[in-house]
Amino acid sequence: MDLSPLKNARILVTGGAGFIGNNLIRRLLQNDVSQIVIMDNQSSGMAVFLPNDPRIIFVGMDIDKMDKLNFVINQHEFDYVFHLAAHFANQNSVDHPFSDIQTNIVGTVGLLEILKFHKSLRKFVYASSSCVYGTATEMNEETFIYPSETPYSINKYTAELYTQYYAHLFHVPTVSIRIFNTYGPYELAGKYRNVIPNFIEKALNGEDLVITGTGRETRDFTFVDDLVDLMLRAAISPSREGDIFNGGTGQKTEILHMAEIIKEVTGSQSNIVFKPARNWDKVKDRMSNTSKSAKELGYQPNVKIREGLEKTIKWYMDNYDKVKSLKNYFE
């Protein structure tokens, strides 16, 4: 992929201290961008893992505070915006529906309201979610969707609709990536975090790996390097304003199989135990159709689940002291 359009680019990454942000920022720095402004309130990410690079400016702030947002954005002329900041994720939104609206809708609309006047902007990449598909069986970008399972699914979809509204009415060059369960380095375990970092931590501590469901449910687990590759492709592509792309692998993995790989790679004696599925979780199988991303963006995810888990576990173990010192950070 020719990433030369990123050379000397000025970039805003909201939520850049989070899991995907940490991986994205490392890739951006490798591609000679001139500046990266990160906006993050560190509610579910931590600046402590960010690389030490003079091109990074970290601004600790809430993206739903319009005055500060205006002040910071209007000091810059951004070429690209990656909007990753989010109130994460389903269970958190069930427990805290108002803060979900605040960050995921109000924060997104605030950004777009300001950026509609920024003519330098080449692309606004919005991190949407596969949960917008709800219980749809075919998950391609043309599928009619009407998510209502959790506030998070409603709000991630609503924000996606806003990216289209701003694209169509104000020609803000937005693109949305519907991200399927992503995993990799820089994601720590926590009450509201994804299953993989939680299982890795439990496996390393010899605690039970609790599957909510039968374990035969499937998910399209996507290694973060593949997702970042797709985000960069979407950023530099001449995609249509308001376009949408799936960010998955097109492969499904049973939760039980994933848990068994983690046990094996960590050499853990943990037991795998089962509990009833959470009442909002009605999706048995989730797998992306990546045809459009492949055809229009040349996206080719190539990290298989076992390889991705091995890399993730290696990162976790290499950084174990730091990770341990931060334990309970997000509880």
Ligand X SMILES: NC(=O)c1ccc[n+]([C@@H]2O[C@H](COP(=O)([O-])OP(=O)(O)OC[C@H]3O[C@@H](n4cnc5c(N)ncnc54)[C@H](O)[C@@H]3O)[C@@H](O)[C@H]2O)c1
Q: Which is nearer to ligand X, 64 or 229 (CB)?
A: 64
- Does 219 bind ligand X (CB under 6 A)? Our answer is no
- Interatomic CA distance for residues 205 and 203, integer angstroms: 5
Nearest to 271 by CA among 204, 325, 208: 208
Q: Which of 3, 10, 45, 323 binds ligand X (CB under 6 A)?
A: 45
Among positions 90, 92, 93, 103, the unique one binding ligand X when judged by CB under 6 A: 103
Asked if 38 touches ligand X (CB under 6 A), the answer is no
Return the residues of window 158-197 that contact ligand X according to CB under 6 A.
179, 181-182, 194
Q: Percentages helix, strand, coil for the chain, rounded to the nearest 5?
A: 40, 15, 40
For position 88 contacting ligand X by CB under 6 A, the verdict is: yes
Alpha-carbon distance of 17 to 207, in angstroms, equals 28
d(CA 215, CA 258): 9
Is 75 within 8 Å of 54 (Cβ atoms)?
no
Beta-bridge partner residues of 127: 177
| Euclidean distance between the first and the last CA atom of the chain, given in angstroms as a whole number | 39
Query: In whole angstroms, how close is the CB of 267 to ligand X at the nearest point?
Result: 26
Rounded-to-integer distance, Cα 220 and Cα 180, Å: 6
SS3 state at 267: coil
Measured between alpha carbons, how far is 60 from 64 in angstroms, rounded to an integer? Answer: 12
* Interface with ligand X, residue 20, by CB under 6 A: yes
State the minimum distance, in angstroms, from the CB of residue 271 to ligand X.
26
* Greatest distance between any 2 Cα atoms in the chain: 57
CB of 77 to ligand X, least distance (A): 21
Minimum Å gap between C-beta 62 and ligand X is 4
Both tokens of residue 232? 């960069």
Q: Which two tokens stand for residue 224?
A: 């973060």
Between 20 and 139, CB nearer to ligand X? 20
Nearer to ligand X, 191 or 238 (CB): 191
Contacts of 263 (CB under 8 A, 6+ apart): 203, 209, 270, 272
Q: In terms of CB distance, is 167 or 224 closer to ligand X?
A: 224
Query: Which tokens hold the place of 246?
Result: 């799936």
92 binds ligand X (CB under 6 A): no
User: Is position 234 an interface residue for ligand X (rule: CB under 6 A)?
Assistant: no
Q: Which of 36, 56, 87, 132 binds ligand X (CB under 6 A)?
A: 87
- Tell me if 154 contacts ligand X by CB under 6 A: no
When binding is defined by CB under 6 A, the residue of 69, 127, 189, 203 that contacts ligand X is: 127
Closest CA to 20 of 64, 56, 50, 41: 50
Q: Which of 15, 151, 197, 308 binds ligand X (CB under 6 A)?
A: 15
- Our finding on whether 63 is near ligand X (CB under 6 A) is yes
Are residues 12 and 58 in contact, defined by beta-carbon separation less than 8 angstroms? no
Cβ distance to ligand X smaller for residue 182 or 266: 182
**Residues marked as catalytic:** 152
Mark the segment that binds ligand X (CB under 6 A) among 16-24, 70-78, 250-258, 268-276. 16-24
Q: How many residues bind ligand X (CB under 6 A)?
A: 30
Which is nearer to ligand X, 132 or 273 (by Cβ)? 132
Could you list the residues that contact ligand X (CB under 6 A)?
A: 15, 17-21, 39-45, 62-64, 84-88, 103, 107, 127, 129, 156, 179, 181-182, 194
